[in-house]
């Protein structure tokens, strides 16, 4: 059975707390180690300093007695040496069978506890002095395995003896108590830091995850088809950018949903008009109200052709939206092919009271690699759109040129134009501009310019609408000379 997934707030808090705990433990361990090591170094340095002072004392007293007879004559040489080192007066010797002064038996304490041990001279217990021949002069013999510090005692530059001081293996007494107290405080400080870090991690994780929880609710609403309320960007830069992206995604999905509903409504309207005409004509023929004359059959055929064109245009757009608008590229002369096609619209334009101007024929070929069937459809849709919406008398100016890499085609017509807000919508399927650009039943299905954009994009080009100098529209198509 898989383990339940933790919330991101819990994961973040656990990760941060684990990182802080690890860091605190590592720092505490290293600090405790450095404390003990540093304190041991301090004790060693203190011993070295005291040993050097003691060596200087012995050298001073041995200046007139290089054989150290003054030390050999002492009944208790180490005690006498340490008394001199510590600046104490020599303690008198006790009579036979009696304790030394200061070591008399003290009366029992009121609580019957044993008296404390006399203070131990740790340096004197660890110190030994031997002469140059190795004879022990003062102190106790040292075990060979114990580490020690040895300093030579010199008189007039000649080594006459050696002072050996055993190193303390571990701090004892007050030093050990000091280390234990400092280590304990260090661990308590580490535990306090861990507690504060856990609380801070929990608070920060909640603060960081709050925008993500809001994003989760918003994306769930979008996935369920509901309208999500725009979120306010907050938190880190990446999270705020993510919130902006989700807001934009929600707006785009809402726009697409509205466009889909409008698309269905408009398609239904476009299909219903010719179907209603066909149904009325056929019912009239069935009822005998109208004869199936060639004129009536011609009218029925026109409605069928209009339905066929509408279905073909819808199919082309659907294929283009799915990225499957295939283009069969062939070599050809763009100037000759496009001029030949545009020439066919000169007479229909004249019949509508419009003047169609074409580029001059200079006989220079313009080699390109295009799907000429699609490009001719693109140009036909552009010219047909201008023929439908340009007022008579008016003009339609068609021009094109190439810079060797890109082919640019422009088509300008005269009044009427469209508003600025409609320029961006002209290439949307089934879009019609304001009434100034409509012509009743001859206004078309509203799919022609959408197909123009799809064909241009399929060739790696683009199309743009702008205001023409003559008061109408300017359509600018840019196509690569060699499409891929």
**pTM of the prediction?**
0.51
Taking the C-alpha atoms of residue 342 and residue 360, their distance in angstroms, rounded to an integer, is: 12
Question: Confidence class of residue 318 from pLDDT cuts 50, 70 and 90?
Answer: confident
Say yes or no: 191 and 270 in one domain. no
- Any idea what the Cα angle at residue 438 is, between residues 277 and 345, rounded to 5°? 90
| Residue 469 vs residues 137, 143, 395, 397, 477: alpha-carbon distances, Å | 121, 112, 11, 11, 17
Question: Stretch 406-423: mean pLDDT, rounded?
Answer: 91
Question: Confidence class of residue 121 from pLDDT cuts 50, 70 and 90?
Answer: very low
pLDDT score of 142 more than 90:
no
Question: What are the φ/ψ torsions at residue 99 (nearest 5 degrees)?
Answer: -70, 155
In this structure, is residue 100 part of a structural domain?
Answer: no
pLDDT in tens, 158-184: 888 888 888 776 666 666 777 788 888
Q: Which CATH number covers residue 257? A: 1.10.287.130
Question: Confidence class of residue 106 from pLDDT cuts 50, 70 and 90?
Answer: low
In this structure, is residue 23 part of a structural domain?
Answer: yes
Say yes or no: 138 and 215 in one domain. yes
Question: Stretch 423-430: mean pLDDT, rounded?
Answer: 81
Show which of 263, 289, 321 is a domain's final residue: 321
pLDDT score of 403 more than 50:
yes
Nearest to 445 by CA among 394, 384, 398: 384
In this structure, is residue 465 part of a structural domain?
Answer: yes
Decide which of 442 and 173 is more confident: 173
Say yes or no: 264 and 380 in one domain. no
3-state secondary structure of 7: coil
Question: Confidence class of residue 467 from pLDDT cuts 50, 70 and 90?
Answer: very high
Q: Which of 144-153, 313-322, 323-332, 342-351 has the lowest mean pLDDT?
A: 313-322
In this structure, is residue 285 part of a structural domain?
Answer: yes
For residue 264, give both structure tokens: 């269905």
Say yes or no: 308 and 399 in one domain. no
pLDDT in tens, 2-26: 555 666 666 777 777 788 788 888 8
In this structure, is residue 231 part of a structural domain?
Answer: no
Q: What pLDDT shows up at residue 299?
A: 80
Side-chain half-sphere exposure of 425, counting CA atoms within 13 A? 12
Say yes or no: 309 and 413 in one domain. no
Say yes or no: 397 and 456 in one domain. yes
For residue 44, give both structure tokens: 């060693």
User: Are residues 261 and 276 in contact, defined by beta-carbon separation less than 8 angstroms?
Assistant: no
Among 77-91, 386-400, 436-450, the range with the most confident prediction by mean pLDDT is 386-400
Q: What pLDDT shows up at residue 382?
A: 95
Taking the C-alpha atoms of residue 465 and residue 424, their distance in angstroms, rounded to an integer, is: 8
Q: What is the pairing mode between strands 158-166 and 367-370?
A: unpaired
Q: What pLDDT shows up at residue 444?
A: 58
Say yes or no: 181 and 33 in one domain. yes
Q: Report the number of distinct structural domains present in the chain.
A: 3
Decide which of 189 and 402 is more confident: 402
User: Are residues 58 and 81 in contact, defined by beta-carbon separation less than 8 angstroms?
Assistant: yes
pLDDT score of 57 more than 90:
no
Q: Across-strand partners of 400?
A: 409
Residue written as token pair 């009696």? 98
Q: What pLDDT shows up at residue 131?
A: 82
Mean pLDDT over each residue of the chain, to the nearest integer: 79
pLDDT score of 313 more than 80:
no
Task: Say which DSSP state 219 is in.
Answer: H
Say yes or no: 370 and 437 in one domain. yes
Question: Confidence class of residue 464 from pLDDT cuts 50, 70 and 90?
Answer: very high
Q: What pLDDT shows up at residue 479?
A: 96
Q: Across-strand partners of 482?
A: 369
For residue 302, give both structure tokens: 């026109």
Sequence-distant (≥ 6) Cβ neighbours of residue 193 within 8 angstroms: 20, 24
Taking the C-alpha atoms of residue 442 and residue 350, their distance in angstroms, rounded to an integer, is: 17
pLDDT in tens, 203-260: 877 777 777 777 777 888 777 777 667 777 776 677 778 788 888 888 888 877 777 7
Q: What pLDDT shows up at residue 119?
A: 44
Q: Which CATH number covers residue 411? A: 3.30.565.10
Q: Which domain holds residue 65?
A: 1-91+121-225
In this structure, is residue 161 part of a structural domain?
Answer: yes
In this structure, is residue 107 part of a structural domain?
Answer: no
Show which of 321, 356, 372 is a domain's final residue: 321
pLDDT score of 30 more than 90:
no
pLDDT score of 302 more than 60:
yes
Question: Stretch 428-451: mean pLDDT, rounded?
Answer: 64
User: Are residues 139 and 128 in contact, defined by beta-carbon separation less than 8 angstroms?
Assistant: yes
Say yes or no: 209 and 249 in one domain. no
Decide which of 424 and 340 is more confident: 340
In this structure, is residue 244 part of a structural domain?
Answer: yes
Decide which of 314 and 93 is more confident: 314
Question: Stretch 300-329: mean pLDDT, rounded?
Answer: 78
Cα 271 off chain centre by: 50
Among 9-23, 49-63, 96-110, 362-376, the range with the most confident prediction by mean pLDDT is 362-376
Say yes or no: 44 and 178 in one domain. yes
Q: What pLDDT shows up at residue 1?
A: 46
Say yes or no: 378 and 297 in one domain. no
| High-pLDDT (> 90) share of the chain, % | 22
Q: What pLDDT shows up at residue 406?
A: 96
Show which of 304, 321, 338 is a domain's final residue: 321
Say yes or no: 196 and 255 in one domain. no
Handedness of CA 425, 427, 432, 434 (dihedral sign): positive
3-state secondary structure of 73: coil
Q: What pLDDT shows up at residue 235?
A: 62
Q: What pLDDT shows up at residue 336?
A: 92
């Amino acid at each position: 059975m898989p383990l339940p997934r933790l919330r991101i707030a819990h994961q973040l808090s656990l990760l941060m707390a684990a990182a802080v705990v690890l860091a605190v433990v590592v720092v505490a361990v290293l600090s405790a180690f450095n404390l003990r090591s540093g304190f041991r170094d301090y004790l060693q340095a203190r011993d070295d300093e005291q040993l050097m002072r003691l060596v200087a004392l012995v050298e001073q007293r041995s200046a007139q007695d290089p054989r150290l007879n003054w030390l050999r004559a002492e009944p208790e040489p180490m005690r006498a040496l340490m008394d001199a080192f510590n600046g104490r007066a020599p303690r008198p010797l006790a009579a036979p069978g009696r304790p030394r002064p200061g070591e008399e038996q003290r009366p029992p304490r009121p609580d019957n506890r044993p008296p404390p041990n006399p203070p131990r001279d740790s340096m004197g217990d660890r110190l030994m002095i031997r002469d140059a021949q190795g004879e022990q002069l003062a102190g106790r013999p040292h075990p060979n395995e114990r580490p020690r510090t040895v300093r030579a005692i010199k008189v007039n530059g000649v080594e006459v003896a050696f002072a050996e001081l055993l190193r303390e293996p571990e701090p004892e007494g007050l030093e050990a108590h000091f280390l234990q107290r400092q280590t304990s405080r260090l661990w308590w400080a580490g535990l306090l830091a861990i507690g504060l870090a856990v609380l801070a991690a929990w608070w920060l994780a909640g603060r960081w995850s709050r925008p993500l929880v809001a994003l989760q609710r918003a994306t769930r609403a979008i996935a369920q088809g509901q309208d999500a309320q725009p979120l306010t960007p907050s938190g880190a830069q990446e999270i705020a950018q993510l919130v902006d992206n989700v807001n934009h995604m929600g707006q785009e999905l809402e726009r697409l949903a509205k466009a889909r509903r409008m698309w269905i409504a408009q398609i239904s309207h476009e299909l219903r008009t010719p179907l209603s005409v066909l149904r009325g004509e056929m019912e009239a023929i069935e009822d005998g109200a109208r004869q199936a004359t060639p004129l009536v059959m011609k009218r029925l055929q026109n409605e069928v052709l209009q339905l066929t064109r509408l279905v073909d245009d819808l199919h082309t757009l659907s294929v283009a939206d799915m990225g499957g608008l295939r283009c069969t590229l062939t070599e050809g002369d763009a100037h000759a092919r496009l001029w030949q096609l545009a020439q066919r619209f000169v007479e229909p334009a004249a019949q509508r009271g419009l003047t169609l101007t074409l580029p001059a024929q200079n006989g220079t070929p313009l080699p390109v690699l295009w799907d000429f069937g699609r490009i001719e459809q693109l140009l036909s849709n552009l010219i047909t759109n201008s023929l439908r919406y340009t007022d008579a008398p008016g003009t339609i100016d068609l021009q094109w040129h190439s810079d060797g890499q890109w082919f640019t085609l422009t088509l300008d017509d005269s009044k009427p134009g469209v508003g600025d807000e409609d320029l961006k919508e002209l290439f949307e399927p089934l879009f019609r501009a304001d009434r100034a650009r409509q012509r009743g039943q001859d206004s078309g299905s509203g799919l022609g310019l959408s197909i123009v954009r799809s064909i241009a994009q399929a060739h790696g080009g683009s199309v743009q609408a702008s205001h023409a100098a003559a008061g109408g529209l300017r359509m600018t198509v840019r196509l690569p000379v060699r499409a891929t």
